[in-house]
Amino acid sequence: MNAGVSAKGDLHWLTVADAAAAIAANTLSPVDLMKALLARIERLDPRLNAFIRLDAETALAAARVAEVEAAAGRLRGPLHGVPVGIKDIIDVAGLPTTAHSKILDGKVATADAVCVTKLRQAGAIVVGKLSTHEFAIGGPSFDLPWPPARNPWNTDHHPGGSSSGSGSGVAAGLFPMALGTDTGGSVRNPASCCGIVGLKPTYGLVSRRGVFPLAFTLDHVGPMTRTVADNALMLACIAGHDPLDSGSAAAPAGHYAAALERDVRGLRVGFVRHFHETDVPADPEVTAGLEHVAHSLQMAGAELKDIRLPALGEFGAVNRIILQSEAWAIHGPWLRSRPGDYGQLARRRLMAGAFMSSGDYLQASRRRKEMIALVETALSEVDVLLCASSMDPACRIDISADVERTYPRQARTPFNVTGHPALAMMSGLSSGGLPLSVQFVGRYFDEATVFQVARAWEKASGTDKKHPPIV
Residue 186 has pLDDT above 50, yes or no: yes
**pLDDT band with cut points at 50, 70 and 90 for residue 254:** confident
| Whole-number Å distance between alpha carbons of 447 and 239 | 11
| Whole-number Å distance between alpha carbons of 345 and 353 | 14
User: What is the full DSSP assignment across 327-366?
Assistant: HHHHHHHHHHH-GGGS-HHHHHHHHGGGG--HHHHHHHHH
Domain-located, residue 426: yes
**C-alpha dihedral sign at 71, 35, 62, 45:** negative
pLDDT score at 318: 98
Residue 251 has pLDDT above 50, yes or no: yes
Domain-located, residue 203: yes
Percent of the chain residues past pLDDT 90, beyond the cut: 96
Q: Which residues contact 7 (CB under 8 A, 6 or more apart)?
A: none
At position 444, the amino acid (one-letter code) is Y
Domain that holds residue 267: 3-465
**pLDDT band with cut points at 50, 70 and 90 for residue 3:** very low
What would the 3-class secondary structure string for 442-466 be? ECCCCHHHHHHHHHHHHHHHCHHHC
Domain-located, residue 100: yes
To the nearest whole number, what is the mean pLDDT of the chain?
96
Kindly name the residue from 101, 131, 141, 162 that is annotated as catalytic. Answer: 162
Domain-located, residue 136: yes
pLDDT score at 9: 57
Give the length of the chain. Answer: 471
- Report the run of H or E that residue 198 belongs to, with start and end: strand 197-200
Distances (CA, A) of 84 to 47, 49, 115, 166: 20, 16, 12, 9
pLDDT, tens digit, 9 for 90 and up, residues 279-303: 999 999 999 999 999 999 999 999 9
pLDDT score at 354: 97
| Residue range 437-453: mean pLDDT, rounded | 98
Which is nearest to 153 in space by CA: 456, 431, 459?
431
| Whole-number Å distance between alpha carbons of 19 and 81 | 8
Percent of the chain residues past pLDDT 70, beyond the cut: 98
Residue 47 has pLDDT above 70, yes or no: yes
Q: Which residues contact 307 (CB under 8 A, 6 or more apart)?
A: 270, 271, 272, 378, 381, 382, 385
| Residue 162 is among the residues annotated as catalytic for this protein | yes
Q: Report helix, strand or coil for 286.
A: helix
pLDDT, tens digit, 9 for 90 and up, residues 345-383: 999 999 999 999 999 999 999 999 999 999 999 999 999
pLDDT score at 5: 52
Domain-located, residue 470: no
Residue 2 has pLDDT above 60, yes or no: no
**Global model pTM greater than 0.85:** yes
E strand segments, 230-371: 268-271, 303-306
Kindly name the residue from 131, 186, 248, 437 that is annotated as catalytic. Answer: 186
pLDDT score at 252: 79
Q: Is 77 exposed, middle or buried (0-12, 13-18, 19+ CB in 10 A)?
A: middle
Cβ atoms within 10 A of the Cβ of 300, count? Answer: 16
Domain-located, residue 242: yes
Domain-located, residue 99: yes
For 302, list phi and psi in degrees, rounded to 5: -75, 150
| Residue 186 is among the residues annotated as catalytic for this protein | yes
pLDDT score at 253: 77
| Residue 102 is among the residues annotated as catalytic for this protein | no
CATH at residue 154: 3.90.1300.10
pLDDT, tens digit, 9 for 90 and up, residues 112-163: 999 999 999 999 999 999 999 999 999 999 999 999 999 999 999 999 999 9
Q: Report helix, strand or coil for 441.
A: strand
pLDDT, tens digit, 9 for 90 and up, residues 194-218: 999 999 999 999 999 999 999 999 9
What total of structural domains would you count in the chain?
Answer: 1
pLDDT score at 452: 98
Interaxial angle between packed helices 164-171 and 30-48, expressed in degrees from 0 to 180 and rounded to the nearest 10:
120
| Residue range 161-172: mean pLDDT, rounded | 98
* Helices (H), ranges, 122-184: 164-171
Cis peptide before 162 (omega within 30 of 0): yes
Domain-located, residue 471: no
The angle formed by the CA atoms of residues 70, 74 and 75, to the nearest 5 degrees, is 75
